[in-house]
Amino acid sequence: MKRLAAALALAAAPMMAQAEDASIRGAWRITHGVVAPWTVDAPVGEALIGARVSFSRTSVKAPAPIGCRNAAFDPTDMPPEGLFQGGLPEPAQQHARSLGFAEGSVKGVSLSCDSGLWEFHRADADTTLFALDNVIWTLSRAYGTGARRGSPESVVEALLEFHFNHDAGFTEETAAARKKWLSKTLNARIDAYFARDFPVDEVPPIDGDPFTDTQEYPTRFAVRKGETKAGVSSVPVDFADGYSKKRIIYRLTYGGGWRVDDLAYDHDGTFKELLTAGD
């Protein structure tokens, strides 16, 4: 019986490794990056944003230096102190939460290949993080990352990739930078909002980021498959961090292409309602 148990354990080990290996196989997309917590001075360029990373059994197809051959994958299950090759400062748990990991150990995959050793840490089923040049990059395989070009989901994906890699404060300048993804009607409402004369001693109707419905920005997003009815496409987007998760429905209309026309929040309000609040 002891010999049988040992044999079963040995057989199960490679099967478990293959299961973890398979969990990362397939196509992913780099959606955004943030400065790693172990440094304060690292440029987060845009060259990798939108890049495809495809994991196969023995290779990784991706921009250099991530892409490589002779790949070997091993499953990992690490405490916060072990993440990113032990690079998180103390308290490691606090920094792990700020990067979007839930409390406790983090599963992932260690990759050894021609270009070196890489650690991929899973924040959720659709999101994996890795470090490169003092930047923590997010890989996503949510529906929007592979959506057909020009589809409502691809428009929302492009908007949020831009949003997460630039100043997310709601100002006239930042709103103007997002105009190409928004409908004429929504842009007109935003222009009218900033044209209003708000009292300097009062909090404005929009006090935070309307695109994520928060004052404390989430660490990741996942664009889900939408549904189109009567000329309006409703695209669910899940936002999350190390503590909570919420869903916002992005509503798009078609006019020379799909454009975001409104956002429906999980507390029953909408972006357009916020823009006209107190008017």
Residue 6's pLDDT is 41
Beta bridge partners of 54: 27, 61
Residue 97: what residue type? Answer: R
Write the DSSP string, 27-42.
EEEEEEEEE-TT-S--
- Residue 207 CB contacts under 8 Å (≥ 6 apart), including other chains: 215
Question: Side-chain half-sphere of 264: how many Cα atoms within 13 Å?
Answer: 10
152-204: pLDDT as tens digits: 999 999 999 999 999 999 999 999 999 999 999 999 999 999 999 988 888 88
Does the pLDDT value for residue 69 go beyond 60?
Answer: yes
Q: Is 266 exposed, middle or buried (0-12, 13-18, 19+ CB in 10 A)?
A: exposed
29: its two tokens: 């997309």
Residue 22's pLDDT is 57
Q: How far is CA 27 from CA 69, 146, 251, in A?
A: 16, 8, 27
Q: What is the pTM of this model?
A: 0.90
Q: Is 167 exposed, middle or buried (0-12, 13-18, 19+ CB in 10 A)?
A: exposed
- Residue 276 CB contacts under 8 Å (≥ 6 apart), including other chains: 189, 193
